[in-house]
Structure 1
Amino acid sequence: MKKTLFFLGIISLWNSSMAQTNPAITSWLRNTTSITGRHYVSGNSTPIADATLANVQKVQYSAQYVYVSTNGIPSYVTGPFLDGNPNLAGTQNAIFKFPLTPTPNTGTSTPTTGGNIGVFINGVALFDYRDGVSYKSSTGLNAGGPSGGTGDGVWNRDAVLYEKTGFDCAKGHPAGTNYHHHQNPSAFNLDLKVISNICNLYLADGLYVINPAQHSPLLGFAYDGYPIYGAFGYKNVDGTGGITRIKSGFSLRNIATRTTYYTGIAVASGPTVSINFPLGMYKEDYQFTANAASDYLDIHNGRFCVTPEYPNGTYAYFCTVDSNYNSTYPYVVGPTFYGTKVASKLTSAVTETTTTYSPVLSTSNFDFDNLEFKIYPNPASDLIAIQSSEMIMNNLNAELIDERGRIVATKSFLQGSTICHFETDTLYNGIYFLKISNNTMVKTYKIFIQK
């Protein structure tokens, strides 16, 4: 009996150790600093602090599942939403349940749906391509979504294109109070070709910064339990070949009329391609073409490959962008899931026995030396922006120091952010030093103020 108990104890310890290394448990951005959400309102470029805790509040796991408690609020500033959306990002008080061992779907693929189809590591919701609007043949117009009514559901409008004026700097917006992203969650002003000027007045950042020299970070998990990565990954699925942009297998069809899907299935006619109904308005305007090149994705927008968190390989989705870093269809996950969709948003508390994930945090866990900071503009006149190469996992201190060694301004580089700003319009011309530090390490940069 004692031997049996001994071996059961060893197995229990082994299972606990294995769980502590599962990225589905360890990768969530847990709020360890009590940071709360912030938002902009139209016409005011000063963020307003909210009372709701940002990022993820708790991670629990059992032998089969991980449970993620979140308010659905990011630590980067949300809003404003300039398309007339009256809502603000609000608390979801949600618990999401994900499988620790996702499984491929060997039957008919499950389509993505409206609403949540995944969760980013900061607890923010992922939606698919749609905005709830579709063509209505009886009226010859689009219907549904914010405009009301119901379309036919045959030709479905692309939210990323047609809700762009309502996205904030981080490319997100709320449905009701459920703040979410449909696409690659990096800020508009960090794209090589900037297609929205929302960041000009309402400075904010996104979940990560695209770095073409590094494998993009793990950004979240889809509702089938498989991980979601940013726009860049290893060229070859075995982790070799260097870093490259991972590409969508979808492209626009060469059509003038809308009578069939790309698969050849005849459907109720949509509007003729025109200025009012341009190609790309609808999800069904795209076709999938399998590409044997390893840096192209399959019909679900994923591939089986080696990643930094999964050195033995995993199926993974990628946030697809073009060469200008502008988002490309199907954006993140879809239009179908690769795996068996088992994740869910719980309607009550966790009922099975779980362990709360509580990693031991120390300065040695924080890879400060590998953070690369870009400071711009330099020389500066009214504002200095500090952009980190990756998301800040623990608060950093930022100090602006003049030539006499006096601290003239201080800021906190907040957990879950990639950018920090200093207003310099009241400072005199001259040389300054920017010091970024945690408890044990410091980086210093020379700054010029010139007006």
Structure 2
Amino acid sequence: MMRSLLVAGTVFVSSALTFAGPVPAQEDAGVILEAVKSDPGTVTITGKILTNTSPHCADYASAYSSEITDVQQKRSLAGAVIVTAQNDTCTIQSNGIPNHDVGGDARRDFASEVAAIGHTFFIARKPEFTGKISELGHTTFDAVLLNGAVVDIQSAGCYRPSSPQADAGGNVLAGCRADDPWLLDPMSPLATFAEDNHHAHTQPDGRYHYHGNPNALFDDNPGPDGSPLIGFAADGFPVYGSYFKDESGTVRKAVPGYTLKAGNRPSGNGNPGGAYNGLYRSDYEFTGAGDLDECNGMTVNGQYAYYVTDAYPWIVACLRGTPDASFDKPR
């Protein structure tokens, strides 16, 4: 079967891959990289801006490679992604290294060095609504982008003034639970996470992950139908860049439906007090003020998808379908 991806106006076609089957463990990152290097049809996507808007994962089946720089450590890294299509699912095998330089413009060094970590994600070819919302958590990845890097929206930082690691505001950057009431929003300019110019950093094991707009794969020059597809959420629904064509035929940025709460937070008894200013995820509430629903998605031309936005919740806030177990984090 031939495989293609539309990148920057050109259709690249890959020959049949020499590697197949799920990658069961983190240590197989090297296997993925070698498979990509050995495929004569591998597509180089270093710094590429995508243009394909198809919501079908099978339309992205190919092998992809990238060569990037870890700015903080002054070393080169090789990215590798393999997308294959089966009857009911697509498989995305990645070594976790994105298609752009990492560590640039970070306010401080990452907690751990960026590491190549193999993982296999299964994407439902026909995702379905469940009729209920699946909340985000700390034990699963929220999405995988076509460059092989993951989206992991929630931080493990929160308001915990009793901790010896708490800063002057009573906040810690790690060790919190997903149900802590005052989780920090890493995208807030008031937070002090070591994010780079791609709104990303590393987890303790070195996995590079995004908390917001990756500043990669799409830009502010959308095509006639809007931004390209840049990845897939854990429930199989597509993730697009910021632009879409609205009902009037205008291509514009999607507007999220969340707004800052008015007034001040409660204080005392584990509450931080102070004005709602976006430092915490709980500073926001869904009001339906924009184009997107409470999960940061909408249906355009019959296709439901999530959109990257310039404001909270940034990419996804919850999931409308059933998340696949392949998005569980290794334990």
TM-score w.r.t. the length of structure 2 is: 0.72
1:7 counterpart residue number = none
Q: Does residue 1:38 correspond to 2:69, yes or no?
A: yes
2:260 counterpart residue number = 252
Q: Within 2, Cα distance between the matches of 1:304 and 1:314?
A: 5
Contact 2:103 2:110 in 1 (8 A): no
Aligned-pair CA distance for 1:152: 7.6
Instruction: Choose the corresponding residue for 1:175, options 203, 224, 227.
Output: 203
Contact 2:127 2:235 in 1 (8 A): yes
Structure of higher RCO (CA pairs closer than 8 Å, 6+ residues apart) = 2
* Counterpart residue type for residue 314 of structure 2: Y
Deviations 1:131-178 (A, max 9, x none): 2112236569645434x5779811111011255662222222111211
Q: Does residue 1:157 correspond to 2:184, yes or no?
A: yes
Shift of the 225–164 alpha-carbon distance from structure 1 to 2, 3 Å rule, reads: farther
| Counterpart mapping for 1:141-220 below 5 A | 142-146=170-174, 153-161=180-188, 162=190, 166-176=194-204, 177-186=206-215, 206-211=216-221, 214=224, 215-220=226-231
1:419 counterpart residue number = none
Q: Does residue 1:273 correspond to 2:283, yes or no?
A: no
Aligned-pair CA distance for 1:55: 4.1
Q: Which runs of 5+ in 2 are unaligned?
A: 1-53
Contact 1:154 1:268 in 2 (8 A): no
Instruction: Choose the corresponding residue for 1:301, options 296, 304, 310.
Output: 296
Shift of the 330–268 alpha-carbon distance from structure 1 to 2, 3 Å rule, reads: farther
Aligned alpha-carbon RMSD (Å): 3.0
Aligned-pair CA distance for 1:251: 0.6
Deviations 1:303-322 (A, max 9, x none): 1112xxxxxx211110111x
1:59 counterpart residue number = 83
| Counterpart mapping for 1:370-385 below 5 A | none
Q: Within 1, Cα distance between the matches of 2:314 and 2:160?
A: 25
* Counterpart residue type for residue 199 of structure 2: K
| Counterpart mapping for 1:50-449 below 5 A | 50=77, 53-56=78-81, 58-80=82-104, 81-107=106-132, 109-114=133-138, 115-128=140-153, 130-136=154-160, 142-146=170-174, 153-161=180-188, 162=190, 166-176=194-204, 177-186=206-215, 206-211=216-221, 214=224, 215-236=226-247, 240-258=248-266, 270-273=271-274, 279-291=277-289, 296-306=291-301, 313-321=302-310, 328-334=311-317, 336-345=318-327
Deviations 1:281-327 (A, max 9, x none): 11111111124xxx610111101112xxxxxx211110111xxxxxx
Q: Secondary structure at the match of 1:344?
A: helix
Deviations 1:426-446 (A, max 9, x none): xxxxxxxxxxxxxxxxxxxxx
Aligned-pair CA distance for 1:210: 1.8
* Counterpart residue type for residue 196 of structure 2: D
* Counterpart residue type for residue 69 of structure 1: Q
Aligned-pair CA distance for 1:212: 5.8
Q: Secondary structure at the match of 1:66?
A: strand
Q: Within 2, Cα distance between the matches of 1:305 and 1:73?
A: 31
Q: Secondary structure at the match of 2:227?
A: coil
Q: Within 1, Cα distance between the matches of 2:62 and 2:112?
A: 25
Q: Within 2, Cα distance between the matches of 1:247 and 1:152?
A: 26
* Counterpart residue type for residue 217 of structure 2: L
* Counterpart residue type for residue 65 of structure 1: T
Q: Which runs of 5+ in 1 are unaligned?
A: 1-20, 187-205, 260-266, 307-312, 322-327, 349-451
* Counterpart residue type for residue 244 of structure 2: G
Q: Secondary structure at the match of 2:181?
A: coil
Shift of the 320–159 alpha-carbon distance from structure 1 to 2, 3 Å rule, reads: same
Larger Rg: 1
Aligned-pair CA distance for 1:93: 1.0
Q: Within 2, Cα distance between the matches of 1:302 and 1:94?
A: 26
Shift of the 149–60 alpha-carbon distance from structure 1 to 2, 3 Å rule, reads: closer
Shift of the 163–127 alpha-carbon distance from structure 1 to 2, 3 Å rule, reads: farther
TM-score w.r.t. the length of structure 1 is: 0.54
* Counterpart residue type for residue 209 of structure 1: D
Q: Within 1, Cα distance between the matches of 2:303 and 2:179?
A: 38
Query: Identical aligned pairs, as a percentage?
Result: 25
* Counterpart residue type for residue 299 of structure 2: F
* Counterpart residue type for residue 273 of structure 1: G
